[in-house]
Chain A
Amino acid sequence: MISEDISYVRPGTAEEAMQAWAEYTGRPTGDPQADNAQSGGAQGVHYLGGGTELVTGARKSGLGGKPLRVLIDLKHIGATRRMENSGTTIFLGSTLSLNEIGDSGIFPLLTATIRNIADRTTRNRLSLGGNIAGSLPYREAVLPLLLADAKVHTIKPFHADGRDLSVRSEHPLRGIFDKRLTLQTGELILGFSFPADRVALPWRHYRATRTGPVDYPLVTACFVAGSGCVAGSEGVNESEGALGGAGIAVAFSGLFPYPVWYASLDEANTTLAVPGLVRSDQRASAEYRLALTRDMVRRAQEELS
């Protein structure tokens, strides 16, 4: 059990979640500077998705040394539970469990990636938003979404004219993912959307662990081949969008202390050649991780060309 006396809040709509956030943290203004100045009020207030990381972390040692005060459970908000393929766009809600998404087969590369995260029973609770926005550095579910040029649908609270209000936004994932999602205080992920044709592009997924299949990755690599797999994002510059028909885009987790993606293998190889960037710890040396990665790249090139 969690030793602190916490409050548990279960909103039925995204707007109610914003209202709860405002109630428990103070009134956000929408002005990042002002909100950061009062972000002390937000400490200890967390959105709850699957709870696999949050409940365990709060029970064991607190969350980053800060006591937990309030959990706002998002699982009853309809938008966060939505999984839809309209034919042109796929939408995946943030509190869908990894198994709900993986078993649906809606995005084969995401299914392959998800089936290697934690164990199956844990994946019945582990949510898509939680995996991507949690504190563990691997965030493997974000890799296929980066390659699919997904958009992040969010809602954030602000206070104006004496009223609690909220505003919905769409951000290009590539634009706001810099080692981790860079969201404003109180901003809540409703889900992710991406063009439906991205799921038909040829792909490969490889994963290496130190022990068995249920382990954190030494390296996870997702590859997508074909034109159009990187073009069109607001967060991508011209050269990144110029991937040719035979190009292969790649995203890694575990290789560095944060997930990354590259529009081409050339770009990835350039970074891999920089000394000191690759993670080296008691689980694997940087040299070993690099050897695994180069083998994955070679296999992907062979299989996708």
Chain B
Amino acid sequence: MTAYTGITNLMLSVNGEDRLVAVRPGDTLLRVLREKLGLTGTKCGCENGDCGACTVLVDGVPVKSCMTLATENEGHAITTIEGLNTNPVQAAFADKNGFQCGFCTPGMILNAAALLTAHPHPDPETTREWMESNLCRCTGYEAIQDAIREAVVLLAPPVLGHK
């Protein structure tokens, strides 16, 4: 049985690296990522689980980091937007202007990347179900949908032609 009280050194696996951080058991993963590890790409929006700006991947699954404690995620692989380096989803969002102010974009991209890993060719209903977890206050949803459609193409394996 593991128990943490007071300030504890916790080993977190973040973006493929082991990171030792001193945390209080009540620290959310969001606060630890931003304030202890300087990974400010993860945004603090509503801090109530509504907006999805703080979405990170835990073992490849989207999770709202404001609603999970850092201690809960010990031993799990955490991926933030900084760890999604050169993912085609990022290129698609840039190409299709899938952002306006950009605050929701890290959460959107991580959720979209997880969606396309689970469903390489998602139908509109599946895309809607996954992406309605993230709110865009600029209401730029049209361009975000375009970006996801383009990402589907970018991520598809090349079709081999016949001679």
Contact = CB atoms under 8 A, between A and B. Distances in A.
Given A9-B1, A56-B49, A125 B63 contact: yes
A71 B25 contact: yes
B71 interface: yes
B67 A120 contact: no
B82 interface: no
5 contacts: A1-B31, A3-B26, A11-B1, A122-B67, A125-B67
A291 interface: no
Contacts of B71: 8, 10, 73
Contact of B132 (A19, A120, A125): A120
A51 B26 contact: no
Contacts, number: 107
B39 to A, nearest CB: 16
A4 interface: yes
* Chain B interface category by residue count: 20 to 34
Interface in A86-132: 115, 118-122, 124-125
A273 to B, nearest CB: 37
Given A52-B49, A119-B132, A119-B133, 15 more contacts: A1-B26, A1-B31, A8-B4, A8-B69, A12-B1, A20-B1, A51-B67, A71-B69, A73-B71, A73-B72, A115-B129, A122-B67, A124-B61, A125-B63, A125-B64
Nearest to A3: B26
Nearest to A11: B1
A60 B132 contact: no
Interface in B1-21: 1-6
Interface string A1-43: 1111111111110001001100000000000000000000000
A55 interface: yes
Interface in A48-87: 48, 51-52, 55-56, 58-60, 68, 71, 73, 75
Interface string B47-79: 111001001000001111011110110000000
Contacts of A277: none
A162 interface: no
Interface string B122-138: 00000001101110000
Interface of B: 1-6, 24-28, 31, 47-49, 52, 55, 61-64, 66-69, 71-72, 111, 129-130, 132-134
Contacts of A52: 49, 64, 67
A10 B2 contact: yes
Contact of A7 (B4, B48, B64, B67): B4
Contact of B28 (A1, A6, A115): A1
Contacts of A12: 1
Contacts of A245: none
Contacts of B6: 5
B132 A213 contact: yes
Nearest to A48: B72
A170 to B, nearest CB: 26
A11 B4 CA distance: 12
